[in-house]
């Protein structure tokens, strides 16, 4: 069984989507992204990018993340460069629940580069703690946005 980061929140998918659709807030919920340098004006439409830096000062690397697929308020699939690892695809899905809240899932797999040869199960175990923290931060931002 796949190990995918999952979290639930009482806020509606539209509220969570507001955070995902605001590229300037990307570094606030993505572990490892330290600052945003630019956001393409049409973000999060397909093929748009967030230009960010990763790492800790003074060891920052300029990088970018690109939208591969988007279904407003339902799914965002990103392609991120992962330094020595290659490129990773990250799928974030929003599912409304019967109480008006949202179930959020996040799956990540290296799709290009040397680590793409690592079995999926091992990749999932390696990124699970990071992705759980990303979702925790995303929910905190979304829940704060309702106040």
- CATH classification of the domain holding 74: 3.30.530.20
Q: Does 76 reside within a domain? A: yes
Taking 70 as the threshold, does the pLDDT of residue 68 lie above it?
yes
Q: Does 122 reside within a domain? A: yes
pLDDT band at 57 (very low <50, low <70, confident <90, very high): confident
DSSP code for 99:
T
Taking 60 as the threshold, does the pLDDT of residue 17 lie above it?
yes
Integer Cα distance of 132 and 44 in angstroms = 22
Integer Cα distance of 112 and 108 in angstroms = 12
Q: Does 101 reside within a domain? A: yes
Q: Does 124 reside within a domain? A: yes
Q: Does 43 reside within a domain? A: no
pTM over the 0.85 mark: yes
What is the domain count for the chain? Answer: 1
Question: Could you report the per-residue pLDDT of 88-127, keeping only the tens digit for each?
Answer: 999 999 999 999 999 999 999 888 887 778 888 888 888 8
Q: Does 111 reside within a domain? A: yes
How confident is the model at residue 35, as a pLDDT?
93
Q: Does 47 reside within a domain? A: no
Taken as a whole, the chain contains a residue count of 147
Q: Does 132 reside within a domain? A: yes
**Domain membership of residue 96 as a residue range:** 4-22+65-145
């Amino acid at each position: 069984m796949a190990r995918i980061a999952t979290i639930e929140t009482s806020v509606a998918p539209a509220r969570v989507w507001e955070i995902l659709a605001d590229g300037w807030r990307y570094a606030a919920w993505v572990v490892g992204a330290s600052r945003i340098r630019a956001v393409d004006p049409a973000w999060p439409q397909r093929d748009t990018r967030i230009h960010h830096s990763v790492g800790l000062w003074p060891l920052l690397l300029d990088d970018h993340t690109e939208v591969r697929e988007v279904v407003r308020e339902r799914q965002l699939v990103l392609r991120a460069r992962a330094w020595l690892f290659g490129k990773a695809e990250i799928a974030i899905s929003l599912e409304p629940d019967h109480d008006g809240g949202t179930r959020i899932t996040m799956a990540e797999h290296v799709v290009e580069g040397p680590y793409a040869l690592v079995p999926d199960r091992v990749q999932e175990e390696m990124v699970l703690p990071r992705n759980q923290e990303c979702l925790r931060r995303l929910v905190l931002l979304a829940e704060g946005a309702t106040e």
